[in-house]
Amino acid sequence: MRRAVIAFTAFLGGLVFLLSSPAWADGEALKGTLQNQGQPVNGVKISVAGEDGKPVGDATTGADGKWEMPVPKAGTYKVTLDQSTLPPGVALKFKDRATLNVQVYDGSERNVLFALAPAGQQDGAAAASSDSSSFWDRVAQLTFEGFNLGLIIALAAMGLSLVFGTTGLTNFAHGELLTFGAMCAYFFNVVVGLPLIWAAVISVAIGGVFGYGQDRFFWGRLRKRGSSLVAMMIISIGLALFLRYVFLFFFGGEGAPYAEYNAQPGIQVGPISAAPKNFIAMGIELAVLVVVGVALLKTRVGKAARAVADNPALAASSGINVDGVIRIIWTVGGAVAALAGVMLGLAQNVSYQMGFQVLLLVFAGVTLGGLGTAFGALVGSIVVGLFIQLSTVVVPTELKTVGALLVLILVMLFRPQGILGRRERIG
């Protein structure tokens, strides 16, 4: 078995090396996406110049907020946003960052981020104003966005936590389940032409089947052969890389939006402004989380899952089909993760590495709430979402996800069992 694990890991490593070789690069370029409160910003002029100030070219954002500018070679470039082309009510969050110096490497496309905000909410504006109402309006807006992000993280974290609780597996390929769900919805919505609601329902069902298949034909067999949890964790890293590049091969490296609900006008609810899709998505996410939580507490399968998580050997001696329960957990986890991917794709563009980009936040939510506890994953994810969004009051937007790593460090130092986790005796 050890030879099989080594051979499989070497195979995945070699395949990833081949797929990540420079032959995949089409040339050097600068690109980016301009968004204000989750909505694309159209018609903004971006100018690119060399390090010596010699102009390279101009680009204008499209209806999806995207722009791209090829550059002649690797090097440092000055990227400038023309603030006069911003639409009314939108401004740079940091006025001194209208020009950015960006390093482009050989064969790479470099993303450039300009942080936008509603006019009057730029960094430092609230502190300079004698009226603090704008500051608290901003806090209320960020709190809403934090709950929205936290619920998406919670959907993904619940499946990851349940799998860990029943099998002990730390699955680094869980982020690819989100990407799989989002891409299935994109296929049925954009390519096939189904309404996004039906595309999402089909994607959730396919995600559940994908989760079941993973355990039935892959993880379950590794467990039966006695693979250690460390070996399975390493394999999950290789599987994540493999799936990510498969998605890149079929979907491409550029992000793409769904065919519906892209540029909805915002509605004002008190100090909070958001698109209607955000309120509906949060309602769906809350409903799904409540249903899964109640099912764990009240149904026979839920009780059996908790028994397997507490003591698999004792659960098996009590007549519980441990493998059957684990496969149900994988099915539910895959379906919920697919729904999280659809919601994440609704909040941003669908891309081949969207699940990987949010995986750190998912792990932070699971660790903070308590490994192996579904309700802990919910609580921890909400805290992480709020912390990330509210941290932009004092730190630049580009650094907000660093807070997830800070949460992981603090939890492991002071409460390694998490908020709702139980302290365990070791040795």
In 154-243 the beta strands, taken as DSSP E runs, fall at none
421: pLDDT confidence band, cut at 50, 70 and 90?
low
- Decide if pLDDT at 17 tops 50: no
Poorest-confidence range of 115-124, 172-181, 199-208?
A: 115-124
Residue at 189: amino acid letter: N
Q: What letter would DSSP give residue 218?
A: I
The whole-number pLDDT of residue 15 equals: 42
For the chain, what is the largest distance between any 2 Cα atoms, rounded to a whole number of angstroms?
A: 76
Confidence of residue 418 (pLDDT cuts 50, 70, 90): low
> Any idea where the domains of the chain sit in the sequence?
33-123, 139-414
For the chain, the average pLDDT equals 79
Q: How far is CA 55 from CA 49, 51, 112, in A?
A: 4, 9, 17
Tokens found for residue 255: 């992000």
Q: Which residue has the tokens 């309120």?
A: 279
What per-residue confidence (pLDDT) applies to 212? 93
Q: Are 345 and 186 in contact (CB under 8 A)?
A: yes
Q: Say whether pLDDT at 411 is over 80.
A: no
Measured torsion, CA atoms of residues 54, 57, 58, 64, in degrees rounded to the nearest 10? -130
Read off the pTM. 0.69
> Can you tell me the distance from the alpha carbon of 251 to that of 114, in angstroms, rounded to the nearest whole number?
26
Quote the CA–CA distance of 110 and 112 in Å, as a whole number: 6
pLDDT in tens, 325-356: 889 999 998 999 999 999 988 887 888 888 88
Q: How confident is the model at residue 272 (pLDDT cuts 50, 70, 90)?
A: confident
Write the CB contacts of 246 (distance below 8 Å, at least 6 apart in sequence).
none
Q: Which residue matches tokens 């807070």?
A: 403
Determine how many CB atoms are found less than 10 A away from the CB of residue 213: 14
Q: Residue 18: is its pLDDT beyond 70?
A: no
Cβ–Cβ < 8 Å for 39, 263: yes
Give dist(CA 263, CA 78) in Å, integer.
30
Helix segments in 299-394, DSSP class H: 300-310, 312-317, 322-347, 354-369, 374-390
- Kindly state the helix (H) or strand (E) to which residue 39 belongs, with its residue range: strand 39-40
Residue (of 76, 121, 74) closest to 94 by Cα position: 121
89-117 average pLDDT score: 78
| CA-closest candidate to residue 370, choices 380, 362, 384 | 380
Say what the pLDDT of residue 187 is.
93
pLDDT of residue 183: 93
With cut-offs at 50, 70 and 90, classify the pLDDT of residue 107: low
Name the more confident of 261 and 20.
261
The domain covering 33-123 belongs, at the CATH homologous superfamily level, to Immunoglobulins (2.60.40.10)
- What size, in residues, is the chain? 427
- Mean pLDDT throughout 301-314? 82
- State mean pLDDT over 255-275: 76
297 CB-contact burial (10 Å; exposed 0-12 / middle 13-18 / buried 19+):
exposed
Q: Are 182 and 176 in contact (CB under 8 A)?
A: no
- Beta carbons within 10 angstroms of residue 140's beta carbon: 15
Q: Which helix (H) or strand (E) holds 176?
A: helix 174-186
Which pLDDT tens digit goes with each residue over 374-403?
Answer: 677 788 888 888 888 777 777 766 667 776
Q: How many CB atoms lie within 10 A of CB 384?
A: 31
Q: How far is CA 282 from CA 23, 149, 154, 271, in A?
A: 42, 9, 11, 18
Decide: helix, strand or coil at residue 390: helix
pLDDT of residue 379: 81
33-123 and 139-414 agree in CATH topology: no
The residues near 225 (Cβ < 8 Å, ≥ 6 apart) are: 1, 4
- Confidence check: pLDDT of 238 > 50: yes
CATH number at 139-414 = 1.10.3470
Adjacent-strand bridge partners of 30: 69, 110
**What pLDDT band is residue 126 in, cutting at 50, 70 and 90?**
very low
- Listed ranges 94-108, 129-143, 286-300, 388-402; the one with the highest mean pLDDT: 286-300
Least confident of 18-22, 148-152, 183-187: 18-22
Rg (CA), the chain: 23
pLDDT per position as a tens digit, 180-212 = 999 999 999 999 989 999 999 999 999 999 999
Residue 281: pLDDT over 90: no
pLDDT tens-digit series, residues 243-259 = 999 999 888 887 888 88
* pLDDT value of residue 322: 85
**Rounded mean pLDDT, 400-427:** 65
Average pLDDT over residues 132-159: 80
Instruction: State the pLDDT at residue 170.
Output: 85
Judged against a pLDDT cut of 60, whether residue 61 lies above it is answered with: yes
